[in-house]
A = this chain, B = another copy of it.
Amino acid sequence: MHETKERLLLAGLQLMLQRGYNATGIQDLLADTGIPKGSFYHHFESKEQFTLQALRLYSANVHATLDEALGSGQIPPLERVRGFFHNVERSYAKEGYLGCFFGALGQELSGTSEVFRLEIEGCLMGIVDRIAACLEEARTAGDLPATTDCTQMANVLTNCWEGAALRTRLRREPEPLHDVLDFFFRSAVRT
């Protein structure tokens, strides 16, 4: 990816995680990065297109982090899933507990834009599918009850995490994340 394009996307992600989509102006982004307007429109045709690309970059990073965390076969599958969320928590901490970009934009834009609604649902499904495969490994290994519906449990975990991420954003502290993970992993093994 062109360096200017990547700088714009990374700066845009940071700005929009803080302020949301509508409250972030292209002007703010240009002022933040010192990149001229012509350069922005050379790489992106509109703010919407820019934001979709920022979402895809964020999503690709999350999915790559997941693949790495879940692929380490030395560690039991449930610990790999939990380890992934600990990584995410560390990145939330660095940002001052602003929560999840999918949740932020999902709430703000999914009522008015079918494009964003479907895009963000797809990003979350990419998380759910990966976690479901790892839970399936845990089920096969006998770490989860044989009756566990792994796709359903992966959805429940992802959704509970999203709710905890909202609460983290409201409280600016990590406790909601810990409490949801503790509850999920304590409970799932007995479901």
User: CB-CB < 8 A to A162: which residues of B?
Assistant: 162-163, 166-167
User: CB-CB < 8 A to A179: which residues of B?
Assistant: 152, 155-156, 159
- CB-CB nearest in chain B for A169: B110
Q: Which residue of B110, B155, B187 is within 8 Å of A187 (Cβ)?
A: B187
Q: Which residue of B111, B183, B186, B187 is within 8 Å of A19 (Cβ)?
A: B111
- Proximity string of chain A (62-97) to chain B, C-beta cutoff 8 Å, 1 when within and 0 when not: 000000000000000000000000000000000000
User: CB-CB < 8 A to A103: which residues of B?
Assistant: 107, 163, 166
CB of A161 closer than 8 Å to a CB of B: yes
- Proximity string of chain A (140-166) to chain B, C-beta cutoff 8 Å, 1 when within and 0 when not: 000000000000110110111111111
Q: Which residue of B22, B159, B160, B191 is within 8 Å of A186 (Cβ)?
A: B191
Most buried by B among A104, A161, A166, A191: A166
Copies of the chain in the assembly: 2
CB of A2 closer than 8 Å to a CB of B: no
Q: How far is the CA of A124 from the CA of B169 in the complex (A)?
A: 13
Q: How far is the CA of A111 from the CA of B104 in the complex (A)?
A: 10
Give chain A's interface residue range (CB within 8 Å of chain B): 35 or more
CB of A137 closer than 8 Å to a CB of B: no
Taking the nearest CB of chain B, how far is it from the CB of A190, in angstroms? 6
CB of A17 closer than 8 Å to a CB of B: yes
CB of A1 closer than 8 Å to a CB of B: no
Q: Which residue of B164, B166, B190 is within 8 Å of A107 (Cβ)?
A: B166
The residues of A with any CB-CB pair to B shorter than 8 Å are: 17-20, 22-23, 98-99, 103-104, 106-112, 117, 120-121, 124, 152-153, 155-156, 158-167, 169-171, 176, 179-180, 183, 186-188, 190-191
